Structure 1
Amino acid sequence: MHFKPHSYQEYAIDKIIELPAVGLFMDMGMGKTVSTLTAVLELLFDYFEVSKVLVIAPLRVADTTWTDEVDKWEHLSELKVAKVLGTQDERIKALGAKADIYVINRENVSWLVERYKARWPFDMVVVDELSSFKSPKSKRFKDLKKVLPYIKRIVGLTGTPAPNSLLDLWPQLYLLDRGERLGKTLTSYREKYFLPDKRNQHIVYTYKLKPFADEDIHKQIGDICISLSADDYLELPERIDNIIKVKLPEKVMKQYKEFEKEQLLELQGTDITAATAGVVVGKLLQMANGQIYDDEGEVHKIHEAKLEALSELVDTGQPLLVFYNFKHDYECLMSAFKNPRTLKTSQDIKDWNEGKIQLLLAHPASVGHGLNLQAGGNIIIWYGLTWSLELYQQANARLYRQGQKNNVIIHHLVAEGTVDEHVMEVLQTKDKGQQGLLQAVKAMI
């Protein structure tokens, strides 16, 4: 296929070539991968700036997306890609292959760093979904940090740079500039821009921005971080967000309120307890969906209110992409409907996009990045909600992206009077904070 870049893609390509370090905050579906590969092609064969490129990506993306994009576009045909995946022997063999780009899943970053150490051979690194390095305590962050001095060029790609708060930004920027803009440590960054918020004596649980701190942060990173929004550059079909309120049976609501208050529920002769607030919330989410695990890991069915609401949508006969939260949700959905499918192989993706699947079940973490599913349908149903804004946005972007021909309808099954309602509020609140960051560093072409 011939590649005719949009103006925003040309801008992104130019910036990757121009800047040794760049954070490309592009909405899902805007062609981050092909833009990056085009820039890499030029840096390899026109500018001779780099010789060996490493791409770090989520496993499914590493396995399919980067090679698929090279195969798809004519101008990328001379690029050779090696997938450093699988067993250790398979990874070692792939590293020994003659290639331009080596793609590895992020879980094996530490293994790769340990293997090479000071002999690090990759002069350019692309981190696909940079936000997956948002924890400075993670081993993958600490290990990648060790080899930064050997990296000549680095590109960070993400559509969700601050999925929870601007605190998430520091580790990602550190990988790009080694602390030049936001400080050498998370502590110094936090002290400069944040104030303690929720706390218990000396233990601080959350932080809030100091007045005007967000503006200063945006200003500091604006020279190497480029934000490109689909709303500004793409004519996407309309996205319709719909909340379907699900009323739980009176008896169930009584049990729900009892557990919420007492953190103890007697069910079918079994006591279900919750030791911490986090466990309570998790159990309440399970109850809202219709089933709950007891202390021994056994599943207890409580109601079918959400299942009945979903059945009405399934009866329309339209292709549906349904996101679930818990394993017992998945098992319930698999047994309740005829011939549901899950995404396990590339054939499943192909069948969905060819209209051969009516009901596709997926956990948001399994389809969060890079998969193109927009050809197979335009309706998403959130059977069980997620607290993660990043997973939520990325999952929705599997259908609401460039190439979608129809208006995208996103149904949220929300149990009235339950924690479901709070999850929706939290997602919306986090989204506002992230949009402030993206707006501030937006590149107006």
Structure 2
Amino acid sequence: MSEKLTLHKYQSDITGLMIEHKAFGVFAEPGTGKTPTSLYVVNHFRQKTLVIAPIRIAYSVWPPETKKWSDFNNIKTGLLHGLDKEQRFLDDSIGIYIINPEGLVWLESMVAKHKRFPFTNLIVDESAKFKSPSSKRFKALKRVIGLFKRRYILAGNPMPNSYMDLWAQIFLLDRGERLGRTISAYRNRFFTRGGFRGYEYFLRPGAEEEIKDLIKDICIFIKATDHLDLPKLVINDIRFDLPKGLRKKYRVMEKQLFWDLDEGKILASSAAVANSKCQQIAQGFLFESLSDKQKYDKVTKKVYDLHNIKIELLEELVDELNGSPLLVGYWFRPDYDKLKKAFPKAVYFADSSKSEAVQIEKDWNAGKIPLLIGNIASISHGLNLQKAGNHVCFYTMVWNYDMYDQFIKRVLRQGNDNDRVFVHRIIANKTMEEAMIMSMQDKSAMSSGFLNAINLYREKIKEYDE
């Protein structure tokens, strides 16, 4: 049975701005209801709309939302994905056409083939997927952007890495009017070169405020905590020490990383990747690259198992929760292998097709899944898991704050009736995982935030140097 939509005041304010402006950006945290707000606007104009969204959101968010609210039951949606996508492209009864970014080149070919452009308005959901102006998806959309009467972009965080991510998204709204016609003009105006061999860009003093001022008339930023009564977030760090012998090997690896940073041998922006081996040891395994040119003529990876401490701690947490639903996030493939072996009865999001993902969301929200495990990058967007459970666990920590925050907000969002949401982080003491925690506290995915966390961590561990 469909429900009648009642907008919060801030949502009513957003719809008013979207209706008033022919181009507008809504940057609102997960759980603030960007989809029903946008559907309200679609329904207001009653014009055919193209929605571009990541594949999981295309399947599990937009079509279900039109059915959930009685206000939008009159709108027929059509997914331009799968075997019948060309037939749906030609279907004039569809009000909202939904496509994933990877399908835009195909859509271009359909427009040319059938001499048909049925869309009046455009909504780009998760617009940060278009942050790279050199990507095929951005170039494809740029070629037709002027054909849309109204253009809207939606994102939880439009700048997952830095302010450099913003230009392409704002271009989709104003075609370069505010931040420059090209990415080069944007760089030259607001950034300075620096870092290793001048390959990095840093905001000029005062540039952040200037950029915000330039786009404030066509964008709104919404924090969930400013408008919604959400559960309190409680952090529970589950800590352990590396075995003594492994600790020594770890410190050798870490000191090499610090030396490379100090000598400028690696960029600050790529240091998080360079730190991978340190993180692997904390996780309990290590990749070793082996050259086997006679057999494969390429470098292959062998995985060495080092310890199972994180698995054992997660087992204790699962036992302690005694069936209360727990969402667990991992990063590396060997993490998945260890988890699959230790928890064979858990539901794994990595194994899921698109239709299975929709069913997993339903089963979780119905309280049927006590243990859901997924890759943090895959599960951090598009799933609404607030109806059952209030426990999230990072089996692996990540450097990217956007992924970290979005992963938590699969559960910590509007509709979760618990008083608290608990975030359990399994952390190896005196390792780079402590720097990762500091980076999350800094709420930054930018290279400056990363370096600040590294420097704070280095000060903290001086006493541990052999």
Which residues in structure 2 correspond to 1:18-167 (within 5 Å)? Answer: 18-44=20-46, 51-87=47-83, 90-97=84-91, 98-116=93-111, 119-167=116-164
User: Could you tell me which residue of structure 2 aligns to residue 286 of structure 1?
Assistant: 280
Q: Deviations over 1:264-321 (max 9, x none)?
A: xxxxxxxxxx9x9666422222221111222232322101121122122111112210
Unaligned runs of 5+ in 1: 45-50, 264-273, 435-445
- Superposition deviation, residue 9 in structure 1: 0.9
User: Could you tell me which residue of structure 2 aligns to residue 216 of structure 1?
Assistant: 210
Alpha-carbon RMSD across the aligned residues, in angstroms, is 2.1
Q: Are 2:123 and 2:154, in contact at CA under 8 Å, matched by a contact in 1?
A: yes
User: Could you tell me which residue of structure 2 aligns to residue 197 of structure 1?
Assistant: 194
User: Could you tell me which residue of structure 2 aligns to residue 371 of structure 1?
Assistant: 383
> Of the candidates 294, 297, 304, which is equivalent to residue 300 of structure 1?
304
Tell me the secondary structure at the aligned position of residue 24 of structure 2. strand
User: Could you tell me which residue of structure 2 aligns to residue 398 of structure 1?
Assistant: 410
Give the counterpart letter for 2:145 in structure 1: L
User: Could you tell me which residue of structure 1 aligns to residue 346 of structure 2?
Assistant: 340
> Of the candidates 307, 314, 319, which is equivalent to residue 315 of structure 1?
319
- Superposition deviation, residue 431 in structure 1: 3.5
Give the counterpart letter for 1:226 in structure 2: I
Give the counterpart letter for 2:311 in structure 1: L
The 1:62–1:237 alpha-carbon spacing in structure 2 relative to 1, beyond 3 Å, is same
Which residues in structure 2 correspond to 1:404-443 (within 5 Å)? Answer: 404-406=416-418, 407-431=420-444
Give the counterpart letter for 1:312 in structure 2: E
Q: Are 2:162 and 2:445, in contact at CA under 8 Å, matched by a contact in 1?
A: no
Give the counterpart letter for 1:197 in structure 2: G
| TM-score for the superposition, normalised by structure 1 | 0.88
Cα distance between partner residues in 1 of 2:328 and 2:206 = 40
Cα distance between partner residues in 1 of 2:433 and 2:80 = 40
The 1:279–1:388 alpha-carbon spacing in structure 2 relative to 1, beyond 3 Å, is closer
Q: Are 1:256 and 1:284, in contact at CA under 8 Å, matched by a contact in 2?
A: yes
- Superposition deviation, residue 206 in structure 1: 2.4
Cα distance between partner residues in 2 of 1:261 and 1:433 = 23
Give the counterpart letter for 2:50 in structure 1: L
| Number of residue-to-residue matches in the alignment | 412
User: Could you tell me which residue of structure 2 aligns to residue 16 of structure 1?
Assistant: 18
Q: Are 1:164 and 1:430, in contact at CA under 8 Å, matched by a contact in 2?
A: no
Unaligned runs of 5+ in 2: 258-265, 290-299, 448-466
User: Could you tell me which residue of structure 2 aligns to residue 268 of structure 1?
Assistant: none
- Superposition deviation, residue 433 in structure 1: 7.7
Cα distance between partner residues in 2 of 1:304 and 1:373 = 29
Cα distance between partner residues in 2 of 1:313 and 1:246 = 14
Give the counterpart letter for 2:435 in structure 1: H
Tell me the secondary structure at the aligned position of residue 414 of structure 1. strand
User: Could you tell me which residue of structure 2 aligns to residue 248 of structure 1?
Assistant: 242
User: Could you tell me which residue of structure 2 aligns to residue 270 of structure 1?
Assistant: none
Cα distance between partner residues in 2 of 1:278 and 1:35 = 37
Give the counterpart letter for 1:354 in structure 2: A
User: Could you tell me which residue of structure 2 aligns to residue 267 of structure 1?
Assistant: none
State the percentage of identical aligned residues.
40
Q: Which range moves more in the overlay, 158-167 or 343-352?
A: 343-352
User: Could you tell me which residue of structure 1 aligns to residue 167 of structure 2?
Assistant: 170
Give the counterpart letter for 2:346 in structure 1: P
Cα distance between partner residues in 2 of 1:187 and 1:82 = 38
| TM-score for the superposition, normalised by structure 2 | 0.84
